Structure 1
Amino acid sequence: MTTNDSSDDNSTTLPRRQLGQYLKENRLGAGLKLEEVAPLMQWSASKLSRIEAGKSPNVRVVDVEALCRIYDIEDAEVVAGLIGLAKQSAGKSWWQAYDDIISGNFDLYVGMESSAKHIQIFRPDMPSGLFQTAGYAHGVDRVYFPSITEEELARRIELKTKRQALITRKTNPVTIELIIQEGALRTVVGGPDVMRDELLHLANMPINVTVRVLPFEVGFPAGLPTGPFTILDFGQDAKGRDVSPTVVYIESYAGDMYLERAKDVGRYRQAYSVIQQSSLDVASSKRLLRQVAKEFRA
């Protein structure tokens, strides 16, 4: 068993998600149900489920050791690896400083985003937070959170800006593919100047980012509108195994969903592929972005 050696581990959710995955695999391998293990730990089944899903930020070493005994894990290297992941997962993540403004379970998404090696995003409505300029983010959040103070609004924009560091960092920047529908280029947020700056920002992304525009004339390539979704891949270890399951994140007005079942992930991969094939190529997309940006000139 190997653990992730990335220097960024203490600022991601990857260690605790790996830990949860390994613990679940060993529980199932031992033929045990959540309801059977939880009482042995004096936990609720929901607490154990959260640990296995990587949603529990603090898993004690003594608890990992106890679970190893319950699951009859006798391999010293495996036990040491699980304990190592537990210690890594206890590190404080940078986004925890923004707990007061992160709603719902979006902190889980930010952690996954920080851990990802490759991200594919489809946004038919607007650029995702990873691609919003400060002006565009202000225009969106001022309307969506009408009752917050200017200080809270500034912190929300700061959070988006910090998230964007994974695109521009010098060491292992994440590779991202963004597909945005043409209508989003013409939906005004914050006024003409803000729109012009945002579109030029999209047109001038670094080499590790590709931006494509889905034009009006292709309709709905997947057959039905999919809504916005993000596919997050976390890379492979030295043995070529996925270090963590691929996750599809679906954001909606009513709340967020996280899909990990192979069937669901495959369906969204297929949808993304179809949408990508119907989109303009990167060069044509950049030309369109710059053309529409000019239309916003006063």
Structure 2
Amino acid sequence: MAGTNLTLRRRQLASRLRELRHATGMTVDQVAQELLCSPAKISRMETGQRGVSQRDVRDLCRIYGVSDDKLVTQLMTLARESRQPGLKQEWGDLGNDAIYVYMDLEAAAVSITELQTAYIPGLFQTEEYARALIRGLLPRIDQELLERRVEARMKRQLLLTQKEPPRYWTFIDEAALLRQVGDASIMTDQLEQVLRLAQAPHVTVQVIPFEVGAYMSADGPFVMFRMKDPAVSEVVYVEMLNRVEYLEKPAELEIYREAVEIIRAAALSPNESIRRIAKAKSDFSAALPRSDHLSPGEQ
């Protein structure tokens, strides 16, 4: 991964610039008039939707009356770091710029809470499962692009085994355990990997069984990232068929916090979840040709 987290730097800078403007009581239109730009540019800078040049930072600090040289230097550093080459240069074209934003947030998070309703979470996927899944979702994807995406997904998983991994809590709908992606052998290996990773002390897995019925957010998976920096404390990632959204407004975050608590209470306990996953693995294993069940001495 790139050493500088560009997405986090941009969001940190955006938050600080927004706070400085609020402290002056100035409106977006007033700042735009002083900076000789459109109000839309100010809004995009304050929401992290566009980069901020060091010149913009210098001029905004003048407009806001910032006299603390240390603060100005910190803001200038954030502006410089947020515009450096990042994951796109490191990984090449992955077909969707939203992937780089997601990877940046994931790498910076101290806590990740994820709901997956149809597929095994990306941080748990085996290489063969990931390849079959991406090919199924994007049947016309170029083979070279497919392999780059699979490679990036495998590298992302190092997050869970690094020296200081994030706290990872995932809710997996039972449908994701039973939906066959690839063949029975791929599913057997995949569920074995989920069982293995679930043993890590920083990982919690809860299965949402069919008997729960309808539940909050059953119609849409999401990932909640929590950061160390209080200026960018939480971000929720929501993926749809034709776009993704990153939610940060307090009212939006509160809805997803509520969903997490409701799902946590409705899902099976971690121990019960392990048993349900093991049962699904056993069922897929039973569907394998007999030779796959036998040890080398028995064949």
TM interval, shorter chain, is 0.7 to 0.9
Alignment match of 1:252 (pick from 216, 237, 240): 240
SS of alignment partner, residue 204 of structure 1: helix
1:155 is the counterpart of 2:148: yes
1:183 is the counterpart of 2:213: no
Instruction: Report the count of equivalent residues.
Output: 284
How far residue 194 of structure 1 moved from its aligned partner, in angstroms, is 0.9
How far residue 9 of structure 1 moved from its aligned partner, in angstroms, is 5.9
How far residue 99 of structure 1 moved from its aligned partner, in angstroms, is 5.2
Q: 1:43 to 1:96 in 2, by over 3 A?
A: farther
Bigger mean CA offset, 84-93 vs 255-264: 84-93
Amino acid at match of 1:30: T
Amino acid at match of 2:115: F
Amino acid at match of 2:185: D
1:200 is the counterpart of 2:188: no
Alignment match of 1:274 (pick from 251, 262, 265): 262
Bigger mean CA offset, 42-51 vs 59-68: 42-51
How far residue 272 of structure 1 moved from its aligned partner, in angstroms, is 0.9
Structure-1 residue corresponding to 2:114: 121
Q: Tell me the TM-score normalised to structure 2 length.
A: 0.87
Q: Tell me the TM-score normalised to structure 1 length.
A: 0.87
SS of alignment partner, residue 210 of structure 1: strand
Q: Is the 8 A contact 1:38 1:48 kept in 2?
A: yes
Q: Look at both structures and tell me which one has the larger radius of gyration over its CA atoms.
A: 2
Alignment match of 1:24 (pick from 15, 18, 23): 18
Alignment match of 2:250 (pick from 244, 262, 287): 262
How far residue 34 of structure 1 moved from its aligned partner, in angstroms, is 2.6
Unaligned ranges ≥5, structure 2 = 289-299
What is the root-mean-square deviation in Å for CA atoms of aligned residues?
2.1
Structure-1 residue corresponding to 2:9: 15
Q: 1:174 to 1:92 in 2, by over 3 A?
A: farther
Work out the CA distance in 2 between the residues paired with 1:43 and 1:51.
Answer: 12
Alignment match of 2:224 (pick from 231, 235, 250): 231
Bigger mean CA offset, 83-92 vs 7-16: 7-16
Work out the CA distance in 2 between the residues paired with 1:294 and 1:255.
Answer: 36
Q: Is the 8 A contact 2:2 2:86 kept in 1?
A: no
What is the correspondence of 1:52-63 to structure 2 with a 5 Å cutoff? 52-57=46-51, 59-63=52-56
Q: Is the 8 A contact 1:114 1:166 kept in 2?
A: yes
Structure 1 consecutive aligned stretches of length 4 or more whose deviation exceeds 4 Å: none
Q: Is the 8 A contact 2:87 2:100 kept in 1?
A: no
Work out the CA distance in 1 between the residues paired with 2:204 and 2:272.
Answer: 12
Work out the CA distance in 2 between the residues paired with 1:215 and 1:13.
Answer: 35
Structure-2 residue corresponding to 1:138: 131
Amino acid at match of 2:70: E
The share of aligned pairs that are identical, in percent, is 34
Q: Is the 8 A contact 1:30 1:71 kept in 2?
A: yes
Structure-2 residue corresponding to 1:285: 273
Structure-2 residue corresponding to 1:110: 103
Structure-2 residue corresponding to 1:72: 65
SS of alignment partner, residue 55 of structure 1: coil
How far residue 252 of structure 1 moved from its aligned partner, in angstroms, is 1.3
Q: Is the 8 A contact 2:238 2:246 kept in 1?
A: yes
Work out the CA distance in 1 between the residues paired with 2:161 and 2:44.
Answer: 32
SS of alignment partner, residue 264 of structure 1: helix
Amino acid at match of 2:166: V
